[in-house]
Amino acid sequence: MSEEKNLSDDLNDMLDDAKDGAKKAADKAEAFAGEAKEKAKEFADDAKETATEFANNAKETFNEVTGENKKVLAGVLAIVIGSLGIHKFILGYNKEGIIQIVLTFVTCGLAGIVPFIEGIIYLTKSDDEFYNTYQVGKKGWF
């Protein structure tokens, strides 16, 4: 019987040790969860701040582009996707933009060389010259 009592005491001791270990693990997990929650909040705050900065920079850039001189935007669009005539619409030449789209489809894309040349011309002109020629003077082609 004393062996049974020793065995029972040993089992109770092991059970107590297991309970203590589980309690310590739960405490550590709770502390880890708290730290993770705090880090996630910091990350969310940083992401929110970065997104706000990005949005503000995008608004400033958009305001600069939509201002009076659209040389770089029109030039790059003309070179990259000029066959769609988007650069013409950016400059306010709706009729010329539609003509560019129609010519692109009629010539199976061969008319895309025209906006490529226009893009190069746009980008090589000075800002004042571009503004006076294409935005004030409303020169639709070349």
Per DSSP, the residues of 8-42 read: HHHHHHHHHHHHHHHHHHHHHHHHHHHHHHHHHHH
Q: How far apart are CA 77 and CA 65, in angstroms?
A: 13
Q: How far apart are CA 78 and CA 120, in angstroms?
A: 8
Q: How far apart are CA 89 and CA 83, in angstroms?
A: 12
Give the residue-averaged pLDDT of 70-98.
Answer: 90
Q: Is residue 9 part of a domain?
A: yes
Q: How far apart are CA 23 and CA 35, in angstroms?
A: 18
Q: Is residue 142 part of a domain?
A: no
Q: Which domain holds residue 125?
A: 71-136
Q: How many domains does the chain have?
A: 2
Query: 67, 102, 122: which is the final residue of a domain?
Result: 67
Q: Is residue 141 part of a domain?
A: no
Query: 19, 38, 67: which is the final residue of a domain?
Result: 67
Whether 82 and 48 map to the same domain: the answer is: no
Which of the four pLDDT bands, split at 50, 70 and 90, describes residue 75? Answer: very high
Contact 100, 115 (CB under 8 A): yes
Whether 6 and 58 map to the same domain: the answer is: yes
pLDDT value of residue 5: 63
What pLDDT, in 10s, does the model give residues 95-141?
999 999 998 889 988 888 999 999 999 999 988 888 888 888 777 77
Q: How many C-alpha atoms does 119 have within 13 Å on its Cβ side?
A: 20
Whether 54 and 101 map to the same domain: the answer is: no
Whether 90 and 127 map to the same domain: the answer is: yes
With 80 as the cut, is the pLDDT of residue 58 above it? no
Contact 93, 101 (CB under 8 A): no
Structure tokens at 32: 């880890």
pTM score: 0.51
Whether 12 and 60 map to the same domain: the answer is: yes
Give the residue-averaged pLDDT of 63-81.
Answer: 77
Q: Is residue 46 part of a domain?
A: yes
Whether 42 and 88 map to the same domain: the answer is: no
